[in-house]
Structure 1
Amino acid sequence: MNNYAKLSAKIILSCLSMAIFIGCSTQKDNATNRSLQNLSARYNYIYNSNVLLTTYQDDLSQTYKDNYDDFLAVYIAPVNSDFLNSATSSGNVKSLDEITQKAQTIISEKNFSNYIDEAYILLGKTNFYKGNYFTAVEYFDYTAKTYKSNKNVFLSAMTWKARSLMQLNNYEKAELTLDTVKATLDSVKSEKAEPLATLAQMSIYQQNYKEAIGYLEQAIKETNKIQSRTRWPYILAQLYEYNKEYDASLRNYTKVENSNAPFEMYFNAKLSKIRVNDLLNDQTSNRKQQLLKLLKDDKNFDYTDQIYYEVAEDYFADKDYKKAEEYYKLSAQKSITNQYQKGLSYLKLADLNFKNLGDYVNAKLYYDSAVTTLPKNYPGYEGILKKAENLEYLTQRYQIIANEDTLQLIARLPEQAREKKLSELFEPKKEVTTTKTIDNGKVVKFDDPTKTQSNDKFYFSNNNAISKGFTDFRKRWGNRLLEDNWRQSVKSSAQVNQQNQSAVIDNSTNPTNIQTANADKETRIKEYTALLPLTADQMAKSDQKIIDAYFEIAGFYQQVLEDEEEAVKVYEELLTRYPQNNHLEVVYYSLYLGYSKTDPAKSEMYKNMVLAKYPSSVYAKTILDPNFSAKQNALDLEINKIYNTVFDSYEKKDFPAVIAYVNETNQRFPGNALQAQYDYLKAIAIGRTQNVDSLLLAFNTIISKYPNDKLINPLVLDHIAYINANLSSFKARKIALIDFDPTEPRFISQRENTVVAVNKLEPVIPKSEPAVVKPVTPTVTPAVTPTPYAPVIAKSQEVKNEPIAKPVDNFFSKAESDIYYYVISVNDMSLSVSSSRFGVGQFNRGNYAGSGLKHQLLELDEDQLIFVGNFTTLSEAKTYAESITSQLTKIMKVPLTAYKGFYISKENFDKIKNREILNRYIEFFKNNY
C-alpha cells in the first residue's frame, strides 16, 4: 500500500513538473505562462527599473545647478552638453543602460506579459535622459498609438512626448501634443502630477504665467514626491511675485523656507522673502540691512555673491549708481563657484557703465567679461557680444590719443631730459629678493629659484613623473603654450594685454634675462625714439592721428551709441585742442545737430558757421533743404544707372554714342560723383575714334579737373607716361588706340599683365582715409574689428576679464596659404557687374601697375563674386583691401547694400559653392580678421 502511495506521488509530481515546464515556455500563450511572465516582468524588471530611474532622477536633482535669477525649471531635463556629461557620467550612465536592457528583455522575452507598454515608456525615458530626443519622441509616439485604450499609459506617453519636443524647441508640435494631454486628463483618476507639471512648463515657455500658476497649484495637490512639494511651491512663489501678487508669493516662499528644501533653495527663498516684504511695505533701506546681516551667518558664506548682488540691485533702484557699482564689483569678486552669478554681475556693471555712468571704456571691459562668463543660451547673449565688439572701436581710438600724447610729450622735452626719460622708461626691472634671518644668523632667499631642494619624493622633482604627465597632457590637449587660459584660442583685448604684461614682468625679473634686458635697452630706446615726432612734419602727422581719433570717437557716440551729450563733449574737445583741422565742416554740422535740443543758441551759431564757411558743402545743402540727402541718394542711383548704359555702349564699341551720352550726362548732372569716370570713358572713346593729340587733350583735361581723384587720376597719368614714351608710334596713326579689348583697354606694345609672385605689394596711392560722417543719417561703423589692446582708462583693475568667446567655424581654416584673393560679393544676379569689374581694373592699373593682379568673375546660383589676385601673403591681401575700400563707392555701380568686400585664402575660396557657404565665410571673416 505504501509502495502504491509512493508511486502515485511520483506520478503526480512528474505531471506537475511537466505542466510547470510547459507553462513556463515563452512560446505558449496560456494563463499559466502569462501569469508567470507578469510576475517576472513586474518584480524582476519593471519594479527594479523604476527604482533605478528614481535613483537616477534623485542624483540629477543633486547635481543640477539651478539658476535662481530666472524661473526654475518645473522638471529637470538635460539642456546642454555640459549637463549631459555630468548627468550621464560613470554610474549614472550604467543605470540608464541597465534600465534599457531590462526594458528590452521584457519586450523580447516577456511578450505575453501586461508590461510591454511600460517597457516602451522606460525606453523613451532613458533616451530622454541621454539627450536622444528624436528617438524618445518615436518611442512615446509608438506607445501612445499602440496602447491608446489604456488612458494612464496614453497620458504618460503623450506627456513625455511633449517634454521631448520642447527639448527640441519644437513648441508648435509640443503644444498640439499637450492639447491631447489636456483632453485626456479628466479621463484618469490618478497620476496627473507630471502632465500638469508639463503643462505648467509649457505655459512658462509661452510666458502665460497665470495659466502656469493654475497648473502648478493642481500639480502640487496631485504629487506625492517630496522634491516636487518644495520645488513647485518655489516656482509658484516666483510666478506670483512676477505677477505682483506679493501675498501669495510670500506664502509660498515661507512654505519652502519651513520645509526640508536643499539649503540653496532655502537660502534663496529667505532672500526672496526679504525682497517681497519690502515690496509689500514699499521700502528698501531696511532690506539692505537685513541682507547684510545674512553675511554674519557662516552658513551663508557660499552665497555672499548673491547677497552683494541683491544689495547692489537695491542701490541701483535708488539711483545710487556709485554704491550699486561698488556692490556689483563685490558680487563679481566673491563669485568663485557660481559663474552664472559672476556673469550677471559683470553684465550689470557693463550696463551701469554704459547707460548710467557713461564710461564706455570700462563698459567694454565688463561686456568682455560678461560674454565669456554667461552661458551662450543666455537671453540677449548676441546683443551683449555685439556691444563688446562695438565698444572695441572706442577703446582703440582712446589708446591712439594716449599713445600720441605720450610720444609728443617726450618729443617736446629738451634733449637731455628726453634721454633721461627714455632711459627710465626702458630700465630693466631688478629682481626683488625676499630675505629672512634665521635664529642661527643665516640668511635665506625664499624666492631664489636656484635654492630649490631636490627631493625625488616631491612630484615635480621626479623627472619620470613629469615626463609621463607631459606625455599624457599632450595626447589629450596637443602642444600648448605655457600661459593662462591655455584652453582658449581666442583672447580678449584685456586678457592679451594682461598676459603680455605678465610675460614682460616675468622676463624682466628672471635673473637669467637681466643681462639680455640690459643689452636690449639701447635697441629699444632707438626703436622708440624713431617713433617720436621730432620734426614739424612728424608732429603734424601725429596731430592728425589724434584729430582723426577724436573725430571718429565723437561720430561713434553720436551715430552708434546715440549719446549726443558725450558726442558734443568730444567734438568740443577736438575744437579746443585743434581749432583748425580737416574735419571742421563735419564737426560744425554735428555740433549744430547735437545742440539742437539742449542749447538752441549754440546750435544756431554752428549752423551759421557751416553756411558761412562751407556754403557749397553737402552739410550746408542739407541744412537749407532737409530732403537733400534723400534727393542725393536718388541722384546717385540715377548716375549709376546711366553709367551702366554708357558702359554698355562702350563694350559694344559704339564710341560716338559714348561721347554723346557723357556730354549729355555732364550737362544734366554737373559735378556728379562719377564725373571723372564718365570723362575717362569719353577720353577712351575719343582715343578709339580720333588721333593722339585729341586723346592727350582729353587726358590732360581730366588731370586738371580732378587733381585729387584717387581712382582715375593715377590711371590717366600712367596712360600719359606710356604715350609720351611711345609718342612717335602714336603720331603715325590716324586713330590713337587700336586692338581694343573691352575688359582690358591697352595701348600698343603694352606690357603683359601676367600673374607673378609679388614680394612686396605697395599701392601708388596712400591708404584709405578715415571715414567721413555722412549728413542727416550718418553711419560710423568699423569695417573690421579693431586690433585688441589695453584700454587707456582702467578703473576696474580688480576685475579679471576673460577672452571673448568668438564663434569658430571649423569648416574654414586660418592656415597660411600661398595664394590669397580680395573678393567683392554682389548678392543680386539681376545686377550687371560689368562696369564694376571695369572699375576694379581701373583701380588696379592705376595703383598697382606691374603687380600682375588680375580680376575675374565667379557666378554662383545667387551671387556674383569679383575676385582679385594673386596675393602671396595675407598682409598683401589686407593692404590691398585697405586701399580699395575707400574707393568702392565709386568703383561699384550697384546699390551699397548689394555688395561686401573681404579677403580670403584660395583653399577657403574653393569651398564657396553657394550663398550659404558664402555667408558662413563672411561671418568667419568678421570673427577672425
Structure 2
Amino acid sequence: MKNYSIYNLKIILFILYVCIGSSCSSQKDTAISRSMQNLTARYNYIYNSKVLLNNHQLELTENYADNYDQILPVYLGPEVSNMEVNQGLNLKPMDDIIKKAQLIILEKSFSNYTDDAYILLGKASFFNGNYFNAAEYFDYITKTYKNNQNTYLEALNWKARSLMQLRRITEANQVLDTLDSILPKVKVKRQLPGPLSTIAQMCIYLNNDTAAISYLKDALRAGGKDQNKIRWTYILAQLYERQQNYKDAAVNYRKVQRSNAPFEMYFNATLNQIKLKTLQNNNKIDKHDQVLALLKDDKNLDYNDQIYFQIAEGHAADQEFQEALKYYLLSVQKSNKNQHQKGLSYLRIADLNFKHFKDDILAKSYYDSTVNTLPKNYPGYDLILKKSINLKYLTDRYELITLQDTLQSIARLPEELRKTKIQMLANPVIITQVQSSNNLLNPNSQPGYSANKLPPQNSFYFSNTTTISIGFSDFKRKWGNRKLENNWRQSVRTSAQETTQQITNVTNAGPINPDSTSLTSNKESLIAEYTAAIPLNSALMAASNQKIIDAYYEIASFYLQELDDTAEAANVYKTLLIRFPQNNHLASIYYSLYLISKPNDPAESLNFKNRILKDFPSSIYAKTILDPTFSVKQSEAENEANNQYNDIFSQYEKKDFISVIRQANKALSSGNPNILSPQLAYLKAIAIGRTNNADSLLTALNNIIENFPDDKLTTPLVKEHITYVMAHLSEFQKRKIALVDFDPNEPPFSDPAKQAVVISAVVKPKQPIVVLEKITTQLPNNTSPKPAETPKAQEPDKVIPAIITDGTFNNAVSATYYFVVHVSDAALTLSSSRFGIGQFNRGNYIGSNLKHQLKEFDNDQLIYVGNFSNFEDVKSYAAGITPQLKQIMKVPVNIYSSFIISKENFDKLISGELLTKYIEFYQKNY
C-alpha cells in the first residue's frame, strides 16, 4: 500500500512538472501560461531592469557637474549631460536591460508586461544615446497602448524628451500638446511630476519663463522624489531671478538652503541670496563684505573662483572695470577644478579688454583661452569663436601699422644712429622669467593699473634662491620640462593659440635663455632684412604710408560692418583722417562718418555730406545720398548684367557666333558700361575670330585694350592673344576664318612650344620690429597707437607646428592644394563663371597647366582650381583672384565664397554637411 502511494505521488509530480515546463517553454494562451509568464516577467526581468535603470540614473546624477551660471536642467539625462559625463558612465546595464526587455517581448508575449518591456527598451536606448530608436519605440507604444492611460502617458513623456534631444522641437511640441491635454484626466498624482517637468523644460528651451514657473510649481505640488523637489525649487529661484522677481527668487533660494541639498547647490543658493539681498537693499559695500566673508570658510575652498567671480560681476555692474578685472583674474587663478568657471572668467576679461580697455591684442588672447576652455555647447559659443577669429584680422593690421611706423621712425634718423637702432633690433632685450610669467594673469599688468610695490628683497620669494630651487624641482617633477609661454599645460594648440603665443613671445622679447651662438649666426641676416625694409626714399615712404592707410581703413570697416561697433569705427576713421588727411579712401570714409554721426550729431553728419557732394560729386556715395534707392538700383543693374552675360555666353557655347556678335554689340552700345563689359567685348572678339579673318580678329582684340586698358581680368589675356597671333601672323592670314574649331571651355590660342611654368610666389614671413622711439600723433578720444613688439630671436632649429584636427579634417602639410569657390545653390549654371576663371588663369598664369573643375552636392557646387604644390602658392593665387571674383562669378555675390583646401581634406567632402564643417575648420585654423 505504501509503495503504491509513493508510485502515484511520483506520477502526479511528473505530470505537474511536465505541465509547468510546457507552460513556461511554449507561447500558449492559457491561464497557467499567462500566470507563469507574468510571474517570471515581473520578477526575473522587469524588477531587475528597473533596479539597473534607477542605479544608472543615480550614477548619472553623481557624475553630472551642474553649471550654476545657467538655468539648471529640470531633469538629468543625455539631453543635458556632456560627453565627458557619458564617457565616465557604465552603459553595460542599458544593454542588459535591452536584452531582458527583448526576452519578455519574444518569450513572454502573453504576459501583462509587454508594454513595460517596450518602455524599458525606449528608456535604455535613450540613456544609451540612441535617441532616434528611443523615439521610435515610444511612438510605437503611443499607437499600440493608447487605451492604457499609464503607459500612454509615460510613452508620450519620453517620446517628447527623445525628440527634444534630436532637436525636433516642432514635433516635440506637438507631443507635449497632446500630453498636456490628457494631464487633467490623470487621477494618480504621482504620475504627474515627470510629464509636468518635461513641459517645463520645453518652456525653458523656448524662453517662456512664466509658463515654466507655472508647470514647475504644479510638479512640486504633485510630489516627486526629494532630490527632484530641491532641484526644481532651485530652478524656480533662477527663473524668478531672471524675471527680476527678486522677492520670490530669494524665498526659493532660502528653501534650498534649508533643505538637504548637495553642498554645491547649497553654496550657490547662499551666494545668490547675498546678491539678491544687495539688489533689494542697494548696499554695494555690504554685498562685497558678505561675499568675501565666504572665503574664510574652509568648506568653500573649492568655490573661491565663484566667489571672486561674483565680486567681479558686482564691480562690473557698477562700471568699476579696473576692480572687476582684478577679481576676474583672481577667479582664473583659483579655478583649479571648475573649467567652466575659468572659461567664464576668461570671457569677461576678454570683453573688458575689447569693449572698455580697447586692447584688441590682449582681448584676442583671452577670447582664444575662452574658446579652448568653455564647452562647445555653451550658449553663444559660436559667437565667441567668431569674435576670436575676427580679432586676428584686427591684430594683424595693428601689427602692420606698428611695423611701418617703426620703419619710418628709423628712416628719419641720421645714418649713424640708424645703424645703431638696427643693431639694437638684431639684439633683442631679454626680460626676466618673473616679469614674463606674470604678464597675462597679474592684474597689475593690465592697462590703467599702477603696479604695487614689491616687498623688500629679503622677504620676496624670488629673492630667495633656496625657495626658487625647491619650487623649480617640484614643478619639474609634476610637469616635466615646459617652455615658458601662455597655456603651457596644453601640448596641442589651435592656430589661434599659436598666433597668440607668437604675439606674447614677441612682447616678451624672445626665449628666456637664448642660444648666443644661434643669435650671432642670425644677426647679419636680421640686420640685412631690417635695412632693406626701411623706406629711405619718397617712393618707399609713400608705399609704407599706403600700407598704414589701408590697414586703418580695413580696421574701421571691420568694426563697422562685422562687429557693428560704430563708435570704435568712427574713432579709427578719424585717426586715419588726422594722420593722412589726403588718402585714396576719402569718399568712403566721409560716407561712413556721415552715416555714423547722422543719429546723434546732425551737424557733423551734414558736414561730411557736404564734403562728399563737393569733392566727390560723381561717386556712388554722392549718388546714394541724392538718391537713397541708388544702391538697390545698382544691385538690380548688376544682376541684369549677369543675366545678360549668361544669355550671350549660352549662345557662345552653342557656337551661334552671329548671335553673340549681335547681342554683344547691342549691350556694349547701350552707353551703360559695367564690370562685365570687357568680358562681353572678349566674347564678341572670339566670335569675330570664328566668323572672320585675322585682321578683323586683331581689330576686335586691340579695341579691348584701347577701351579697357585697366581691366585686370580680360586685358592681360587679350595681350597674350595678340602676341601669339602676331608671332604666327603668316599662318593666320592664310585662313579665311581666323580661329579654327575649338572647345569653348579651352583657350582658343595655344603654343605647344611653351614650357609649363611653376607658380611660385613664396611670401616671406613678417618680422616684428620694436618701436624704438615713441611716435607722437594726436589721436581722438579712446584711441591710442598700438605698441609694437620686439623681435623674437630666431631658433636654430625649425619648429614644426602641431597638426590640428577636428576629428575629420586637419591642417597637415600636403603635396596638393586647391583654391575653391563655393556656390550655395545647386540649381545655378556655372559655365560662364568657370569660363571667367579660365580667363584669369590664362591671362595671369600662362603655361601653368592650372585646371578648374566642378564638384556638385545636393545643395552646393564647388569650382576648384589646381593643382598647387604648396600652401604658399595657392595662398598667392587666392590673393590675386579673390579681388576679381565679382567680375568672374556670374552669380549673386551673397551666395558664393572661397577657401583653400588640401587634396586629403577635399577627398573627404562627400556631402554638404561635411562641406559646412570644413569651412568652419578653415576659418578657425587657416
Equivalent residue, structure 1, for 2:502: 497
Distance 1:758 1:821, change over 3 A: farther
Q: Deviations over 1:501-545 (max 9, x none)?
A: 699955x627xx443333333333333433333444333322221
Q: CA deviation at 1:551?
A: 1.2
Give the Cα–Cα distance (whole angstroms) in 2 for the partners of residues 310 and 395 of structure 1: 31
Aligned to 1:550: 552
CA distance in 2, matches of 1:119, 1:841: 64
2:438 maps to none
Q: What residue number does 1:883 align with?
A: 880
Counterparts of 1:31 and 1:644 in 2: how far apart (Å)?
80
2 CA distance for matches of 1:656 and 1:59?
A: 79
Query: Could you list the runs of 5+ residues in structure 2 that have no partner in the other structure?
Result: 435-456, 459-463, 482-486, 763-785, 790-800
Distance 2:704 2:889 in 1: 20
Contact 1:367/1:384 (CA < 8 Å) preserved in 2?
yes
What SS does structure 2 have at the residue aligned with 1:373? coil
Q: Could you say which residue in structure 2 is the equivalent of 1:568?
A: 570
Is 1:27 aligned to 2:29, yes or no?
no
Whether the 8 Å CA contact 2:37–2:108 is kept in 1: the answer is yes
> 1:759 is paired with a residue of what secondary structure?
coil
Which position in structure 2 is the counterpart of 1:852?
849
Alignment of 1:642-661 (within 5 A): 642-647=644-649, 661=663
Q: CA deviation at 1:918?
A: 5.5
Q: CA deviation at 1:832?
A: 5.4
What is the Cα deviation at residue 825 of structure 1? 4.9
User: 1:191: which partner in 2?
Assistant: 190
1:895 aligned partner = 892
Equivalent residue for 1:872? 869
Cα gap change, 1:244 to 1:724, in 2 (>3 Å)? closer
Q: Find the counterpart in structure 1 of residue 290 from structure 2.
A: 290
After TM superposition, list the pairs within 5 Å mapping 1:618-633 onto structure 2: 618-633=620-635
Change (3 A) 1:106 1:545: same
Asked if the contact 1:372–1:804 (Cα under 8 Å) also holds between the matched residues in 2, the reply is no
The residue type paired with residue 183 of structure 1 is I
Partners of 2:758 and 2:848 within 8 A in 1: no
Number of the residue aligned with 2:275: 275
SS in 2 for 1:324: helix
Moved more, 251-260 or 522-531: 522-531
TM-score by length of 2: 0.78
Larger Rg belongs to: 1
Q: Which amino acid aligns with 2:588?
A: V
- Residues 119-144 of structure 1, C-alpha deviation per residue, up to 9 Å, x if partnerless? 55445444433333344445555666
Q: 1:385 Cα shift? A: 2.0
- The answer for the alignment partner of 2:776 in structure 1 is none
Q: Distance in 2 between matches of 1:460 and 1:307?
A: 28
* 8 Å Cα contact 1:127/1:136 also seen in 2: yes
* Alpha carbons of structure 1 residues 531 and 676: separation in structure 2 relative to 1, 3 Å: same
Contact 1:429 1:509 in 2 (8 A): no
The unaligned stretches of length 5 or more in structure 1 are: 438-442, 467-481, 764-790, 795-802
Partner of 1:509: 513
Aligned CA distance change for structure 1 residues 618 and 251 (closer, same or farther; 3 Å): closer
Deviation readout 1:854-884 (Å, 9 max, x if unpaired):
4456677766655544433343333222212
> 2:141, 2:152 within 8 Å by CA — same for their partners in 1?
yes
Q: Per-residue deviation at 1:67? A: 1.6
Q: Residues 147-196 of structure 1: CA distance to partner in whole angstroms, max 9, x if unpaired?
A: 66665455444444443343333444444544347526644435324344
State whether residues 151 and 184 of structure 1, in contact with CA within 8 Å, keep that contact through their aligned partners in structure 2.
Answer: no
Task: Note the 1:20-419 alignment, pairs <5 A.
Answer: 21=17, 25=21, 27=23, 50-79=50-79, 82-83=82-83, 85=85, 89=89, 92-93=90-91, 96=94, 118=116, 121-137=119-135, 140=138, 151-178=149-176, 179-180=178-179, 183=182, 186-189=185-188, 191-192=190-191, 193-223=193-223, 225-281=225-281, 284-355=284-355, 359-419=359-419
- Determine the C-alpha separation between the residues in 2 that align with 1:699 and 1:109: 86
Gap change, CA 1:298 and 1:620, over 3 Å in 2 = same
1:339, distance to aligned residue in structure 2 (A): 1.9
What is the CA distance between 1:402 and its match in structure 2?
Answer: 1.4
Give the C-alpha shift of residue 548 in structure 1.
0.9
1:538 to 520, 540, 543: 540
1:406 shift after superposition? 2.3
1:346 match: secondary structure = helix
Structure 2 match to 1:767: none
Give yes or no for the alignment of 1:486 onto 2:488: no
Q: How big is the shift at 1:95?
A: 5.2
Of stretches 161-170 and 395-404 in structure 1, the one that deviates more from structure 2 is 161-170
Give deviations 1:82-119, integer Å, cap 9, x for gaps: 45755754xx4455566666666777787887666555
Q: Check the 8 A contact 1:433/1:448 in 2, yes or no.
A: no
Q: Following the alignment from structure 1 to structure 2, what is the Cα–Cα distance between the partners of residues 700 and 36?
A: 99
User: What root-mean-square deviation, in Å, do the aligned CA atoms of Structure 1 and Structure 2 show?
Assistant: 4.7
CA distance, structure 1, for counterparts of residue 585 and residue 431 of structure 2: 50
Once the two structures are TM-superposed, the CA of residue 814 in structure 1 deviates from its matched residue by 5.0
Count of aligned positions = 851
Match of 1:616 in 2: 618
CA spacing shift, 1:687–1:166, aligned 2, 3 Å: closer
Which region of structure 1 is more displaced relative to structure 2, 318-327 or 536-545?
Answer: 318-327
Match of 2:768 in 1: none
What TM-score do the two structures reach when normalised by structure 1? 0.78
Residue in 2 that maps onto 1:808:
806
Query: Where do 1:627-776 residues align within 5 Å?
Result: 627-647=629-649, 661-684=663-686, 699-727=701-729, 733=734, 737-739=738-740, 741=742, 743=744, 750-752=750-752, 758-761=757-760
Structure 1 CA distance for aligned equivalents of residues 67 and 306 of structure 2: 12
Conservation of the 8 A alpha-carbon contact between 1:821 and 1:905? yes
Q: What is the CA–CA distance in structure 1 between the aligned matches of 2:658 and 2:132, rounded to whole Å?
A: 69
Identity %, equivalent residues:
48
Distance 1:433 1:10, change over 3 A: same
Contact 2:805/2:811 (<8 A) preserved: no
Shift of 1:263: 0.9
Q: Deviation of residue 761 (structure 1)?
A: 4.1
Paired amino acid for 2:126:
F
Determine the C-alpha separation between the residues in 1 that align with 2:735 and 2:468.
89
CA contact (8 A) 1:758 1:872 kept: no
Give the match for residue 771 of structure 2.
none
In 1, distance between residues paired with 2:673 and 2:105? 85
**Shift in alpha-carbon separation, 1:281–1:681, aligned structure 2, 3 A:** same
Name the aligned partner's letter for residue 162 of structure 2.
S
Q: 1:737–1:747: 8 Å Cα contact kept in structure 2?
A: no
Report the more deviating stretch, 184-193 or 703-712: 184-193
Letter in 1 for 2:490: N
Q: What residue number does 1:593 align with?
A: 595
